[in-house]
Amino acid sequence: MLGNLMRELSRLEWADLLSGQSDRHMGNYLVYINADTGDVKVTGIDNDASFSRRRVGATTVDITGEPGLHGALQASGVTFPRMLVDVQKLSAGQREALVNGMGALLFSGAGTAWNVDKVPGQREALQRAGLSLPPMTVEVGSLTDDKRSALEGILGRSVQRNEVVPVSRDMLERLSDADITVSSVLINPQLLDPEYQSVLINTFGEHWLGAMADPMDVGTIPAAQQILRNTGMDLPRMVIDTRSFTDKQYRVLKPKYGFKQLALLPRIDRQTFQALMAVDENDYRQRLAPCMDREALDAAVLRLRDAKRRAEELEKRQCVVDDWEAPGFLSALVRERKGNPEGLSSVMQNCLFLRDFWECAGLAARV
């Protein structure tokens, strides 16, 4: 009976992989067991979460266009693939969009007490636009004797203890090297007139773009990806592989898309294997095309390719199953259980049998 159960659960899982099911849990599939014959029938129900655009493989998820999720996953330690953009080949419109978009993002994080001398050229740009700003200064009375001597060397003249010395931008590096503090000019960007806010946004954006290497890696900058996509740039989709995720990383991903399982399936039934490998991709695409939009269709084809790749790997490893009741089969499967037994990774990374029937599987394997 356990062999029949494993086989039928496996068949449901492979169907779920192809359909992009993101919500398969113990409450939405039915198991019927014939007590007399040991035959088992497993039926998936509540399949409204199928054909997800986000699930593009057994363990791969497309998070394109989700900068908040991207940032949260990055903060949790997920490493993202490089995505290089040639800055020199940006069109005028793409460059302007990046400067304005990233500048606005930096402006929003400037707070209510921004030092206008922190970004090179920002003070001068604001002054050219007509904003009156006090000069940068050094208060000589606050300096030690050694620092006062260093200041005199920079200025090329002596200074008085009660003097307040105006500072030009070309002096800043030498003053910093001498550990001499320059008074900050703080402004509240939110209270500026719109014309000055525009200057701040532009200088933020220009400084950000100028500091980027060329080619620029936007793989870790989801906001820049989205800006460039909005200009029509054809960037690769941002696809992540979850197979090595920690419990913490799954907890970041799961609430967004509701995934209950992202498992690299460990076995495939012989009949399922043959049916899967007989599917023609072009025919598959044509049959699905009337039912969904282009993005969902592309995701479905990617899942088909991934399912076939995995099935071929299992065939090479002699994991295409003819007899689910074979001696030692269950014990071998139990030994492959993945993830933290008490954590979310165990739920996400294991096949349905090891996930939902673990106690039954563990006991039977020890018999």
Q: What's the pLDDT at 367?
A: 44
- φ/ψ of residue 65, rounded to 5: 80, 15
Q: What's the pLDDT at 208?
A: 96
Of 186, 339, 327, 348, nearest in space to 259 by CA: 348
Overall average pLDDT of the 256-264 stretch: 91
Q: What's the pLDDT at 361?
A: 61
Q: Which range is least confidently modeled, 112-121, 162-171, 234-243, 334-343?
A: 334-343
pLDDT above 70 for 366: no
CA dist 222 → 89, 200, 202 (Å): 20, 22, 20
Q: What's the pLDDT at 289?
A: 96
Q: What's the pLDDT at 131?
A: 95
Joined tokens for residue 233 = 């740039």
Asked whether the beta carbons of 17 and 265 are under 8 A apart, the reply is yes
User: What H or E segment, with its residue span, contains residue 113?
Assistant: none
Asked whether the beta carbons of 105 and 223 are under 8 A apart, the reply is yes
CA dist 298 → 116, 226, 236 (Å): 48, 20, 13
Residue 358 — pLDDT band, cuts 50, 70, 90? confident
What's the rounded Cα separation, in Å, for the pair 24 and 12?
10
